[in-house]
Amino acid sequence: MTERLLRHEVDMEHTWDLSDLYASDADWEEAVTSLLALLPSVTAFQGHLGESAEQLFQCLSAHEQLMEQFVRVSTYASLRQSEDGTNPANQANSGKMAAVSAEMSAGLAFINSEIAALPDGVVENFLEEYPELSVYRKSLQEILDYKPYLLSPQTEATLASLGQALNGPYLIYQRGKSADMQFRAVKDSSGAEHTVSFALYEDVYEFTADTELRRNAFDSFASTLRQYQNTFAATYATEIAKQVALARLRGFPSTTDMLLHPQQVTRDMYENLLDIIQTDLAPHMRRLARLRQRVLGLETMRHCDLKVPLDPDFNPQTTISQASQLIIDALEVLGPEYVANIRTGLSSRWVDYVDNVGKGTGAFCSSPYGVHPFILLTWGNTMRSTFVLAHELGHAGHFALANRYQKLSNTRPSMYFIEAPSTMNEMLLADHILAQTTDQRMRRWVISQLLGTYYHNYVTHLLEAELQRRVYTLAEAGKSITASLLSAQKGDVLSSFWGDAVTIDEAASLTWMRQPHYYMGLYPYTYSAGLTASTAIAKKIREEGTPAAEAWVNVLKQGGTKSPLELMKMAGVDMSKPGPIREAVAYVGSLIDELERSFD
């Protein structure tokens, strides 16, 4: 049995280099002290924002400088916690950062309140008479758009000061996953014993062709989830209650409307993705499940079998170095500026690859302004890991450009757009491999990887979004959110989608405990929005070449200066209509058609 490494045992070459943020924890501590010392440079403007356009500009400029340092110190604390959540120093620094964040939020709450309280037309006049203020035009407009839902300045300041407590559910969930959960070791078909962790299950065992190991690992995984279900349900119920209370307090028609507001997305755009994909995609995915069951000779198809390779004997292995070069080659179509950022990231320790005790699960990219992106994942020595790396490099490439061309306040687009650049890289990687090979098994394997991407975004995350939709409706109707309710709803969501193609047992119903996205607003469904857009844009790049690729890179440079609908339209996709969703689902169906033919 291979024991999980402790953090200090991991090869440094395969870890991210956080010294690019701060050379040591001591330097970080000094930066935190300096950050708090800068707070009065902004709070000094309190009560004066309506005096002149220049006064407003000076306040927003000082605020932006403060936030640049805040982003840097908060990112350092967050990444340290992600690399090893069992480390007491990391836990302490994470807690300290939460307290600092709450203090700053309370101190800065006056900005939005004062701007929203200005008489109608004042902000517009300021923008006309003081051109320098135009860099904050979109931020100012967002404040004015939120004006009907703002509470009194005193109440806003109070809520901001409670930030650490209000963020408690997410912290408890993450701490439980990274520091407390332990899984029993399991045996494979040859009797060899294997250690199990959250990351190893999701990144390795869920894909293994050894049915005994895969199912044993899932049962071990579910057994531990079961032990924590009531605690995690209470944690999630607290998050739901918080959001429902805030929505009512602010006067939103529903919690969903409140959570969609900052995404700049209409209710129809949200509902279309959930409804159309579930209805139209389910028949295709059931075909894929039955194909997998037939090809692999499984008597029953369990939820934990849905990611097993269709051709178990053909599972291309790759090294980090080989994968890096393949990704660079695939992204050449996006031009030298884009590729230069990717090349630098892969050679300069932007990525943390190796699993260790206490390391966060899944994969993510964090992009602090003024430094460079940082990527966390668990490398599995497979080509599937290459697609995960390409995905996260999509986020890195996006924000490396946005941070270069925009001020901090204009770098981040709506969450609705966030997953388009990442899934785009997966599309381009698949196109590149397919164009380079005539081997039928390789083509079948790449199509399977593409379907893995659609499964991740159109099934896993979309069904999480369906659970969210149901749970918020139940909570608003006064229903108590318990472990049994969450498992029952999750089981029903899965059963409705998979029909009789997959056996949904108690272990599958517990998978509501797997993802942190439930604590991030309406994040899960946005994966499907991004993939829908990237499917259409990748097709344009295949057909038009350089012009379409250049248009896409130009969109990335816009950062958050436009709404997600505007950004996607710049790239040639209108997400206000159901057409792109149906076309993307039809494309998934065509991939499954080809896969079925390859096994006939």
Question: Locate tokens 């695939």: which residue?
Answer: 330
Q: Which amino acid is at 57?
A: F
DSSP string, 413-424: --HHHHHHHHHH
- Asked if the model's pLDDT at residue 467 lies above 60, the reply is yes
Confidence band of 2 (pLDDT split at 50, 70, 90)? low
* Domain assignments of the chain as residue spans, ordered by start: 7-166
- Asked if the model's pLDDT at residue 7 lies above 70, the reply is yes
Which pLDDT belongs to residue 1? 45
Indicate the helix (H) or strand (E) that contains 161.
helix 153-161
- Asked if the model's pLDDT at residue 528 lies above 60, the reply is yes
Single pTM value for the model: 0.87
Contact between 467 and 493 under an 8 Å Cβ cutoff? The reply is yes
Q: What is the 3-state secondary structure (H, E, C) of 338-371?
A: HHHHHHHHHHCCCEECCCCCCCCCCCEEECCCCC
**Phi–psi pair at 382, nearest 5 degrees:** -125, 165
CATH architecture of 7-166: Up-down Bundle (1.20)
Instruction: Give the span between the Cα atoms of 238 and 31, in whole angstroms.
Output: 33
Which pLDDT belongs to residue 202? 87
Closest CA to 581 of 286, 282, 277: 277
Q: What is the pLDDT of residues 259-284, one digit of tens each?
A: 999 999 999 999 999 999 999 999 99
